Chain A
Amino acid sequence: MEILYLLIPLSVVLVLLIVGVFGWAINNGQLDDLEREGGRILEDETAVVDGDQARSPQQP
């Protein structure tokens, strides 16, 4: 039964960890739109670099 001395603190730490992760997920909007993000992988690759400098937002 000595293992309990390890397992109980471990479970407490684990629970706090889970709560923390879930809190991060809620507050970061990870759970806002569950369907959309899954589909993103199927979309066409968009250009990473914007070659057209005229489209730069810096320019008025």
Chain B
Amino acid sequence: MSTTAASTACPAPGLDALDDPDLLASYTQWQTPAGGARIAVSQLQLTGMHCAACASIIESTLTAQAGVLSAQVNAAAERLQLRWDPARTRISTLVQAIAGAGYGAAPDAAAPAREQRERERRQALWRLFVAAFLMMQVMMLATPIYVADPGDMSADLHQLLLWGSWVLSLPVMLFSAGPFFSSAWRQLRAGHLGMDVPVSLGLLVTFVASTGATFDPGGLFAHEVYFDSLTMFVSFLLAGRFLELRARHRVAQSLEQAMSRLPDRVERLEPDGSSSQVSPQRLRAGDLVRVFAGQAFPADGRLEQGATEADEALLSGESLPVPKRVGDELVAGSMNLHAPVLLRVLRVGADTRYEGIVQLMRSALTQRPRELRMADRIAGPFLWGVLLLAGLAALAWYFVAPERAIWVAVSVLIVTCPCALSLAGPSAWLAAAGALARRGILLGRLEALETLARVDMVVLDKTGTLTEDRLVLAGSWPARPDATLLAQAAALAHHSRHPMALALAAAHPVDEAAKAQWQQVQELPGRGLQARDAQGRQWRLGSLDWLGADPALLPEAQLAFGSEDAEGGVSLMLAFDEQLRPDAAGAMQALRAQGLQTLLLSGDLPARVERVARQAGVQAARGGVSPEGKLAAVAELQAQGRCVLMVGDGINDAPVLARADASLAMGQGALVAKAQADGIVLSTRLGDVVLARELALRTRRVIRQNLGWAAAYNAACIPLALLGYLPPWAAGIGMAASSLFVILNALRLSQELGKT
């Protein structure tokens, strides 16, 4: 577990920080019992627990401390609730005591939200249990009525069974179905009809009709009871809602986990060599921070000193450690796994990728997809249609057989209760979004799944999308350069962050000593680097023009290296190229196999764009396109009736991403937060774009199946009910089967992706 490492491996950077009132307030509640002193109730997250017995060790350790009123450990959740007297002890002392017993404890600021969720979950589970358990009992009482031959059962006994069913259905109606009724009431009062209104109406009518039949068998409602269908109905609806709730909570939980990854305190190294403990909020770009093994990086930045491995599962969904060397980018919220390192802060707060991800998850959590809203929109007409139908049926039957008129109207209302209909959309969307999130594709708008299924054209950006956003060394002049010369150039390149310098440095790693041989290093923007070697000779690494190199020797050369004092001036010329993502060709082929056209739009030189397109297998390519040109090209495609999916790197392409029908951004762009895309491929695998599109197609299919099933069921049953031919058991089985079918069908979408 990652948090285990967090509190054991890091040498407790300032336990005193725990006593900081600001920090304390985030995980502590203050209570003032009548006539007593103030008591603090703190929530702590424990680590290092192996079994239930550890709980008692921690509890007894703490209760032996002065000032501790009570300590309660929840072994399953690894959480501690600590009541203590602030006048007699300090929280840092207590945490120290826990550490002395061999365990770790960290503030648990998310406790209130989690408790709230826990209450919600418990309540939902409890409602579901009541409905499901009573449903079984009602079935038990209903079975004899179904199987008994006429005359087998005395009228009294029959009546008794009905009464029993009624009593058992009462809690289901009054308690379990409560949320439907209260929500329907709210919707009615707001004048905005949602699906809960027809659902509640159906439930209410069914119950009233069955109650009438139970207590007044010869009366208005004839003698059919539907208690079994009713309770089953409520159970299925509640089960659906419970699944929805769990999915929502799981997202909230992963959000919380992500949030809690940022450390509470970090060690900042001041320019004068001293160090201080500050909270991550106080960090500014340019600060130097020491990050211990097991700690999370507090901000986006660059590795300044040391080498380690980072767990970037937050970004890619894969917890493979990523090796990090000096100069590599580090992402806030990812874990430092191996060794203490120095981090130079580049971005803080809302600009970090981490913050962008948190934002995205939040918005996905609160937004309702259009198809869900559509279900709510059709709820009104649906309700009126059903009422009209029932009214007409009653009127018609009034002339044929007046005693059956009300019964028919009621049965129409019962069979049209839109249970399956209201489950069709939500279950499928949530299952699909969950599967995508586990794969490292975050959807900001769930609607993107719908448009993704409609696209027939994929427009790709080159740099950062089809290719990796770094360069590789592709060629040199002379073709076999002198190794010491190349090492010298690479050592100089280590002093710059220019993409070409980075590529050169990556191709030839050098040690600190080699780096230090260069003195008076100067970086001249637009030209290159200038420095003196150990012998005091002036060298230059930069553009061909600056060094006066002859481009004829190597036409595609972009970088030259040489000394003014040496003969000939230029001793080395280098060419760089972009590297195609490893899965680019496969992904393009898969997109073509799905019947999509692919187009590469780039601002780069046409010849280079053509070459990359050929390598990757993109069908068409256009180079030298300005951002405005890209926008115009996409608009033109849309005017031709195309539905365009844009895949870009998020920042430069923002307007195009916003313009396209659906858009995905590769998650390596620094400012994910500002991306205008519908979704972000955090894993930066192009293959995941294909997977997302596949899943979108499957989701659409499943929703259509679900809606089709619900419609077919209604279409078949309504005429029967209108004609007065629908026996109650058939209606019950139909209802149950349709709900069950819809939920199980949707759950197929949540299977793990990429197992094809």
What are 13 A-to-B residue pairs whose CB atoms are below 8 Å? A4-B157, A5-B157, A5-B160, A8-B164, A11-B137, A22-B133, A26-B129, A33-B77, A34-B76, A39-B53, A39-B55, A43-B56, A58-B37
A48 at the interface (CB under 8 A from B): no
Count of chain A residues near B, Cβ 8 A: 31
Are A55 and B66 in touch, CB under 8 angstroms? yes
CB distance from B145 to the nearest CB of A (A): 12
Interface positions of B from 33 to 62, Cβ below 8 Å from A = 36-37, 39, 52-53, 55-56, 60
CB distance from A27 to the nearest CB of B (A): 7
Closest to B76 in A: A33
Mark B157-178 against chain A: 1 for CB-CB distance below 8 A, else 0: 1001100100110010000000
Interface positions of B from 82 to 138, Cβ below 8 Å from A = 85, 87, 122, 125-126, 129-130, 133-134, 137
CB distance from B503 to the nearest CB of A (A): 55
Are B122 and A8 in touch, CB under 8 angstroms? no
Interface residues of A, dominant DSSP: helix
Mark A5-17 against chain B: 1 for CB-CB distance below 8 A, else 0: 1001101100110
B interface with A by C-beta (< 8 Å): 36-37, 39, 52-53, 55-56, 60, 63, 66, 69, 73-77, 85, 87, 122, 125-126, 129-130, 133-134, 137, 141, 156-157, 160-161, 164, 167-168, 171
Contact of A33 among B39, B75, B157, B161 (CB under 8 A): B75
CB distance from A37 to the nearest CB of B (A): 9
Could you tell me the distance between the alpha carbons of A44 and B141 in the complex, rounded to whole angstroms?
51
Could you tell me the distance between the alpha carbons of A50 and B39 in the complex, rounded to whole angstroms?
18
Are B37 and A60 in touch, CB under 8 angstroms? yes
Could you tell me the distance between the alpha carbons of A36 and B53 in the complex, rounded to whole angstroms?
7
Are A8 and B141 in touch, CB under 8 angstroms? yes
Most B CB within 10 A of own CB, among A8, A16, A36, A58: A36
Closest to A44 in B: B60
Could you tell me the distance between the alpha carbons of A15 and B160 in the complex, rounded to whole angstroms?
16
Given contacts A26-B125, A39-B52, is CB(A19)–CB(B73) below 8 Å?
no
Given contacts A12-B164, A36-B52, is CB(A57)–CB(B85) below 8 Å?
yes
Could you tell me the distance between the alpha carbons of A35 and B37 in the complex, rounded to whole angstroms?
34
Could you tell me the distance between the alpha carbons of A33 and B22 in the complex, rounded to whole angstroms?
31
Are A8 and B161 in touch, CB under 8 angstroms? yes
CB distance from B442 to the nearest CB of A (A): 32
A38 at the interface (CB under 8 A from B): yes
CB distance from A12 to the nearest CB of B (A): 5
Mark A22-60 against chain B: 1 for CB-CB distance below 8 A, else 0: 110011000011111011100110100000000101111
Are A58 and B134 in touch, CB under 8 angstroms? no
Kindly list chain B residues whose C-beta atoms are within 8 Å of the C-beta of A23. Answer: 126, 129-130
Could you tell me the distance between the alpha carbons of A60 and B35 in the complex, rounded to whole angstroms?
11
Closest to A9 in B: B164
Kindly list chain B residues whose C-beta atoms are within 8 Å of the C-beta of A27. Answer: 122, 126
A interface with B by C-beta (< 8 Å): 1, 4-5, 8-9, 11-12, 15-16, 18-19, 22-23, 26-27, 32-36, 38-40, 43-44, 46, 55, 57-60
Are B52 and A38 in touch, CB under 8 angstroms? yes
Given contacts A12-B167, A15-B168, A23-B126, is CB(A36)–CB(B74) below 8 Å?
yes
Could you tell me the distance between the alpha carbons of A58 and B133 in the complex, rounded to whole angstroms?
48
Kindly list chain B residues whose C-beta atoms are within 8 Å of the C-beta of A44. Answer: 60
Given contacts A12-B167, A39-B52, A46-B63, is CB(A57)–CB(B130) below 8 Å?
no
Could you tell me the distance between the alpha carbons of A40 and B53 in the complex, rounded to whole angstroms?
9
Could you tell me the distance between the alpha carbons of A4 and B134 in the complex, rounded to whole angstroms?
20
Q: Which A-B residue pairs are the 8 nearest by beta carbons?
A: A35-B52, A36-B75, A12-B164, A15-B137, A39-B52, A43-B56, A36-B52, A60-B87
Could you tell me the distance between the alpha carbons of A5 and B159 in the complex, rounded to whole angstroms?
11
Please name 8 further chain A to chain B contacts, defined as beta carbons within 8 Å, in addition to the given A8-B160, A26-B126, sorted by A numbering: A4-B157, A4-B160, A5-B160, A32-B74, A33-B77, A39-B56, A57-B69, A60-B87
CB distance from B138 to the nearest CB of A (A): 10
CB distance from B294 to the nearest CB of A (A): 27
Contact of B55 among A4, A15, A18, A36 (CB under 8 A): A36
Kindly list chain B residues whose C-beta atoms are within 8 Å of the C-beta of A5. Answer: 156-157, 160
Are B122 and A57 in touch, CB under 8 angstroms? no
Could you tell me the distance between the alpha carbons of A38 and B55 in the complex, rounded to whole angstroms?
12
Could you tell me the distance between the alpha carbons of A19 and B161 in the complex, rounded to whole angstroms?
20
CB distance from A60 to the nearest CB of B (A): 5
Are A16 and B171 in touch, CB under 8 angstroms? yes
CB distance from B77 to the nearest CB of A (A): 8
Could you tell me the distance between the alpha carbons of A34 and B157 in the complex, rounded to whole angstroms?
43
Contact of A19 among B52, B75, B134 (CB under 8 A): B134
Are A35 and B76 in touch, CB under 8 angstroms? yes
Are A33 and B130 in touch, CB under 8 angstroms? no
Kindly list chain B residues whose C-beta atoms are within 8 Å of the C-beta of A26. Answer: 122, 125-126, 129
Closest to B166 in A: A12
CB distance from A20 to the nearest CB of B (A): 10
CB distance from A51 to the nearest CB of B (A): 14
Given contacts A8-B141, A38-B52, is CB(A57)–CB(B76) below 8 Å?
no
Kindly list chain A residues whose C-beta atoms are within 8 Å of the C-beta of B85. Answer: 57
Are A15 and B134 in touch, CB under 8 angstroms? yes
Are A19 and B36 in touch, CB under 8 angstroms? no
Kindly list chain A residues whose C-beta atoms are within 8 Å of the C-beta of B77. Answer: 33
Are A22 and B129 in touch, CB under 8 angstroms? yes
Could you tell me the distance between the alpha carbons of A34 and B73 in the complex, rounded to whole angstroms?
12
Are B37 and A19 in touch, CB under 8 angstroms? no
Could you tell me the distance between the alpha carbons of A4 and B164 in the complex, rounded to whole angstroms?
12
Contact of A58 among B36, B56, B75, B164 (CB under 8 A): B36
Could you tell me the distance between the alpha carbons of A38 and B87 in the complex, rounded to whole angstroms?
35
CB distance from B65 to the nearest CB of A (A): 10
Kindly list chain B residues whose C-beta atoms are within 8 Å of the C-beta of A55. Answer: 66
Could you tell me the distance between the alpha carbons of A58 and B69 in the complex, rounded to whole angstroms?
11
Are A19 and B56 in touch, CB under 8 angstroms? no
CB distance from A18 to the nearest CB of B (A): 8
Closest to A31 in B: B122
Closest to B51 in A: A35
CB distance from B133 to the nearest CB of A (A): 6
Closest to B79 in A: A33
